[in-house]
Amino acid sequence: MARLRATGAWRACSWTRWGAPGIHVLAGDARRPPLRAAFDSVLVDAPCSGLGTLGRNPDIRWKARGEDLRRHAERQAAILGAVSALVRPGGLLVYAACSLEPEENEGVVTPFLDAHPEFTPEPDMIHDCLGHVPPLMNHDYAELLTLIGRAVSATHSGEHVLALKRFSWFSIEFGLIEDAGETKVFGAGILSSTGEIPYSVLSPDVRREPFVTDTVINTDYDPSRMQDHLFIAPSLPFLRSELETLVRRFGLPVV
């Protein structure tokens, strides 16, 4: 690995000795990039806590602190916002971090997307493949997912959309379920995060209560942080039945 030292201003160097004369390195602060070019693709390999590398760096576990996550997230957000101006219309902006913590992922990307409507997210393959695909083998889960989509497409009411969104969030995305007397995870948002899995079922900071539909659809959530309010469903058939009842109550002809 080459060590590049910046002495004040940005300084460029060429990788010609590695046989890549077209690559140039600029050393400096990514929060204030001096470039004005429009690139087809920009990769933000963000400085982070490294909590996704515990397998080869176990000592990080004992050094990590809550304030570190906030500090990293602030810096990551500043970098992402600054370099987004370098992406040409129709180009690709990739955000990467060696962490699976929501504060350094959804907590950075979601506010960025809210502030930059010119960017649209690509599919999250880890979230979809690890979180959604395996449960689709269950008929009730598949019907639940399908019915939510049909109901949202059929309604013209913002209140109905919000209610269905919250139902989906606290079941499909961040749902807990009873199984043989134990509380287990089935929500895709939990299953695709190594931080959320133990936090959701073990942390004393999480408020867990029975899944009551009227309570669920009136409960708000913050997607940019670890989820500290979750609902426990007795079964997938129960959730499917509750959703069907809710859709009928809304008068939507999709059941």
Q: What is the pLDDT of residues 51-70, one digit of tens each?
A: 777 777 777 667 767 677 88
Q: Model confidence over 4-60: pLDDT tens digits?
A: 333 333 344 545 565 666 667 777 788 988 787 788 888 888 888 887 777 777 776
Domain containing 223 — which CATH number? 1.10.800.10
Question: Is the domain of 95 the same as that of 174?
Answer: no
pLDDT of residue 10: 38
Of 53, 87, 122, the residue at which a domain comes to its end is: 122
Would you say residue 1 lies in a domain? no
Count of domains for the chain:
2
Question: Is the domain of 216 the same as that of 115?
Answer: no
Would you say residue 7 lies in a domain? no
Residues whose CB falls within 8 Å of the CB of residue 101, separated by 6 or more in sequence, listed in order: 49, 51, 69, 193, 195, 226
The single residue of 103, 106, 173, 196 carrying the catalytic annotation is 173
The single residue of 49, 84, 171, 192 carrying the catalytic annotation is 192
Question: Is the domain of 136 the same as that of 241?
Answer: yes
State yes or no: is 156 an active-site residue: no
pLDDT of residue 51: 78
pLDDT of residue 102: 80
For the chain, residues with pLDDT lower than 50 are: 1-12, 14
| Reported pTM | 0.61
Question: Is the domain of 38 the same as that of 105?
Answer: yes
* DSSP secondary structure letter of residue 47: -
pLDDT of residue 219: 97
Would you say residue 211 lies in a domain? yes
Question: Is the domain of 117 the same as that of 195?
Answer: no
pLDDT of residue 2: 28
Q: Can you say whether the dihedral through the CA atoms of 176, 179, 184, 189 is positive or negative?
A: negative
pLDDT of residue 3: 30
Question: Is the domain of 91 the same as that of 138?
Answer: no
Of 122, 138, 159, the residue at which a domain comes to its end is: 122
State yes or no: is 99 an active-site residue: no
Of 87, 122, 157, the residue at which a domain comes to its end is: 122
Distance in angstroms (rounded) separating the CA atoms of residues 11 and 62:
37
Q: How many CA atoms within 13 Å lie on the side-chain side of 234?
A: 6
Range of the domain at 88: 31-122
pLDDT of residue 132: 80
Pairing of β 176-179 and β 229-233: parallel
Distance in angstroms (rounded) separating the CA atoms of residues 188 and 173:
5
Would you say residue 22 lies in a domain? no
Question: Is the domain of 177 the same as that of 193?
Answer: yes
Question: Is the domain of 145 the same as that of 184?
Answer: yes
State yes or no: is 127 an active-site residue: yes
The DSSP result for 75-103, as a single string, is HHHHHHHHHGGGEEEEEEEEEE-S---GG
The answer to whether residues 78 and 31 touch, using CB atoms and an 8 Å cutoff, is: yes
pLDDT of residue 99: 84
Question: Is the domain of 105 the same as that of 37?
Answer: yes
Question: Is the domain of 62 the same as that of 136?
Answer: no
Percent of the chain past pLDDT 90, that is, above it, reads 42
The single residue of 49, 132, 196, 242 carrying the catalytic annotation is 132
First to last CA, the chain: 60
Distance in angstroms (rounded) separating the CA atoms of residues 148 and 229:
21
Distance in angstroms (rounded) separating the CA atoms of residues 213 and 210:
9
Question: Is the domain of 133 the same as that of 96?
Answer: no
- Picking from 182, 181, 201, 183, the residue whose alpha carbon sits closest to that of residue 193 is 201
State yes or no: is 229 an active-site residue: no
